[in-house]
Amino acid sequence: MAAPDDGADGDEPLLAVEDLTTVFHTDKETIRAVDGVSFEVSEGETVGVVGESGSGKSVTARSILGLIESPGTIESGSIRFRGEELTGGNWERHRGDLSIVFQDPINSMNPVYTVGNQIREALRIHQGLRGQAAREEAVRLLEAVGIPDARRRVGEYPHQFSGGMRQRAVIAMALACDPDLLVCDEPTTALDVTIQAQILELLDDLQREEDLAILFITHDMGVIEETADRVNVMYAGEVVESAPVETLFDGPAHPYTRGLLASIPGRTATGDRLPTIEGEVPTPTESASDCRYAPRCPDAFDACERVHPEHVRVGPDQTAACLLHEEVRPRPDGRGDRGRRRRRRGRRG
């Protein structure tokens, strides 16, 4: 592969997402599924995106891969790969540099072709391999993802594979593009716990052996703790906290992060019932003029309904978008209202 020479400066991360806003225009309303999201992924790094269902994780992933279809559109923001802008239709140039693994392995494969056939097709398109070379590489990839008896199984159909083996095969297909960045969108959510652990271990090995950067998306804080170097917590289309994984788990700065952490089994000794965050993620249809988490937040105070929190630095390498961490904003009458917190747990937004 030719050395990248696109005028990017050497400090550019592998992937830089900046102020990404992806919306869906429906008959009734505009859904702001991803609303001003920024984060970076460096070479060889695993960056996690975590949040409840509906927070915009998958739309973020699809935006990065150029997979947003009508009625969706990337409304604004920037997605740069090695310094080169992808939005505006430049994904074609980087096809194969970025690859995605979805939650459901059965829908990721074509049932009428053998597993080997599908891997060879990816090898042909992305690496120009054909014939014997492609056959050998397909077997090597299946071996690399831990499929026993790969030489025989390369000739089998997806339905002949168990769920875990199928997800391994899907990962092999993703690797056939020889990607620099692998986006994994809930890759283990459909699998049982034992198989999940094996797949996570596999991704970890592959990252080192194949020199991959991984963007790992999950709703599961336990999985994030095991996989990510750095974590972005998403809520209702926005990143609300970003920190290295240890920092996030030792000192979560956003009440939403604290809520997610409290619901990890075994983390808090609270008898037999895990605390959960009451209520649901709202579907954002307007630009935020408040904190979208406020209606569910145990720490919300008056200003949270009126002010959209910006990210503030709360530690050397940690930011949170929460008014608890901002200087008291003067109200129109000149008084701060930091002290006027009230509990609003249970109120629905």
Alpha-helical regions (H) of 22-114? 57-65
- Determine the interface stretch with ligand ADP among 51-59, 266-274, 293-301, 310-318 (rule: CB under 6 A): 51-59
Q: Does 58 bind Mg ion (CB under 5 A)?
A: yes
- Determine the interface stretch with ligand ADP among 24-32, 123-131, 156-164, 196-204 (rule: CB under 6 A): 24-32
The mark string for 270-309 relative to ligand ADP (x by CB under 6 A, - otherwise) is -------------x--------------------------
Q: What is the CA radius of gyration of the chain?
A: 22
Q: Does 30 bind ligand ADP (CB under 6 A)?
A: no
Q: Does 188 bind Mg ion (CB under 5 A)?
A: no
> Which C-beta is closer to Mg ion: that of 34 or that of 142?
34
Residue nearest to Mg ion (CB): 58
Residues forming a β-bridge with 23 = 73
Q: Does 188 bind ligand ADP (CB under 6 A)?
A: no
Q: Does 72 bind ligand ADP (CB under 6 A)?
A: yes
CB of 39 to Mg ion, least distance (A): 16
Residue 276 touches which of ligand ADP, Mg ion, none (Cβ within 5-8 Å per kind)? none
Do residues 221 and 49 touch, judged by C-beta distance below 8 A? no
For the chain, count helices (H), then strands (E): 9, 12
Longest dimension (CA), the chain: 77
Which residue among 14, 31, 134, 300 contacts ligand ADP (CB under 6 A)?
A: 31
Q: Does 103 bind ligand ADP (CB under 6 A)?
A: no
- Determine the interface stretch with ligand ADP among 48-56, 156-164, 204-212, 240-248 (rule: CB under 6 A): 48-56
Residue 232 touches which of Mg ion, ligand ADP, none (Cβ within 5-8 Å per kind)? none
Residue 153 touches which of Mg ion, ligand ADP, none (Cβ within 5-8 Å per kind)? none
- 303: three-class secondary structure by DSSP: helix
> Which C-beta is closer to ligand ADP: that of 73 or that of 127?
73
State the Cα–Cα distance between residues 336 and 342, nearest whole angstrom: 15
- Determine the interface stretch with ligand ADP among 26-34, 36-44, 141-149, 294-302 (rule: CB under 6 A): 26-34
Q: Does 318 bind Mg ion (CB under 5 A)?
A: no
Closest by CA to 136, choosing from 118, 116, 160, is: 116
Which amino acid, 53?
A: S
Do residues 304 and 294 touch, judged by C-beta distance below 8 A? yes
Residue 2 DSSP one-character state: P
> Which C-beta is closer to Mg ion: that of 61 or that of 300?
61
Check residue 173 and give left, alpha or beta (phi > 0: left; psi -120 to 50: alpha): alpha
Residues 6+ apart with CB under 8 A from 98: 15, 64, 65, 81, 91, 179, 180, 181, 182, 183
State the Cα–Cα distance between residues 72 and 23, nearest whole angstrom: 6
CB of 237 to ligand ADP, least distance (A): 7
Which residues contribute to the site for Mg ion (CB under 5 A)?
57-58
